[in-house]
Amino acid sequence: MLYWLSQFSDHVFGLNLFRYITVRATGAGITTFLLSVCFIPMAIRWLQRRGVGQQVRQQAAAGGLTAFHQQKAGTPTMGGLVMLGALGIAVLLWGNLTNVFLLTAVAATMGLGLIGCADDLLKLRQQGARGLPWRMKLVGQGCIGLLVGLTIVACPPQNTLLEIPFVKTWSLPLGWWYIPFAMLVVIATSNAVNLTDGLDGLASGCLAIAGIAYGILAYITSHVVLAQYLDVYFTPLAGELSILCAALVGACLGFLWFNTYPANLFMGDTGALALGGTLGVVALFTKKEFLLLLIGGIFVVEACSVILQVASYRYRHQQRVFLMAPIHHHFQMRGWAEPKITVRFWIIGALLALLSVATLKVR
């Protein structure tokens, strides 16, 4: 909306500022933060009146975390609805709504939010059940990944190459295989963030860090001078994704204001699936898919810990690799305080994000 006003900059002083991505990204981040901080307290009161609270899962109790999880029972959940609402308003206000990458990314975010919302509602209605069947989740996430993949293949410059970190002269051409690859990326990142969302402030803090990193990468990718200097793929349409990343960061920071230990609100699958998928979509559009393994290193480790635990239990005569998975629960079982685990994971996430940006030069 404000970007559209910039066309009148010849007649009204100051409107030319809305042409600049840096200005609009800053505005989007501040907008989502303020909206989240203003509306989350009202959402908490509304959810409390209707008894929309966290259920303690039986497997958590069986795994020895009863004391930890009983403290969280009844805490309002589905805070992701406020986060997505704030993000949507900020993008409408500050984004260029003719940019197909931005529109597709927002559509993917909201679509994943609907899947997460349905999952949360089923869990609440069935008092702690698993929610949507996992096959239905995967189908929904896969369809959204399909939309993203088709957009990349259909839009010029139709870039289906995979840029390899630390390597300047070689990339991996996928052609039409890029579409199933895009589906895999969206499914993996969405579920990895969802698995990480188990401690107060853990997922939201790590998402904010990753959002900052991808916001910088999106800007560099769309800036012809910087892209040529760093010898990365120049993708002019990716610049508007900086607005989306800034909105994601602002929403996470606003939510973190109420989600730090002890949390007053949880984002639920509504927020975790949606915002996790957003990272995957931005990684695809900016051609920084492999860097997602580094920027989202915490999410990768959390997901791998679950995969290793399940595989070991099934194929090694019920032997476990960790005391409990995801890995943040392993450290809880070892006696680490919840805030200590969260902050240390934030520190690792920040270091990985800095390293990922450094890879643009170390090639």
Q: Give 310-337 pLDDT, tens digit per residue.
A: 999 988 888 899 999 899 999 999 999 9
Q: Whole-angstrom Cα distance, residue 266 to residue 77? A: 4
What is the per-residue pLDDT across 176-233, written as a single tens digit (0 to 9) for each?
899 999 999 999 999 999 999 989 999 999 999 999 999 999 999 999 999 988 888 8
Give the number of C-alpha atoms closer than 13 A to the C-alpha of residue 241, restricted to the C-beta side.
35
Q: What backbone phi and psi angles, to 5 degrees, belong to 235?
A: -130, 90
**Contact, 291 vs 283, CB < 8 A?**
yes
pTM equals 0.93
Instruction: Please give the pLDDT value at position 195.
Output: 95
* More confident: 28 or 56: 28
Tokens of 252: 């996470």
Would you mind telling me the total number of residues written for the chain in this entry? 363
Which residue intervals of the chain are DSSP H helices?
2-5, 21-49, 58-62, 66-70, 80-94, 100-125, 134-154, 178-196, 202-222, 224-230, 241-259, 268-285, 292-295, 297-315, 327-333, 338-358
Give, as one character, the DSSP assignment of residue 44.
Answer: H
Could you tell me whether strands 161-163 and 171-173 are parallel, antiparallel, or unpaired per DSSP bridges? antiparallel
**What are the pLDDT digits (tens) for 30-84?**
999 999 999 999 999 998 888 777 665 555 444 556 656 667 777 888 899 999 9
What confidence score (pLDDT) does residue 63 get? 54
More confident residue, 133 or 144: 144
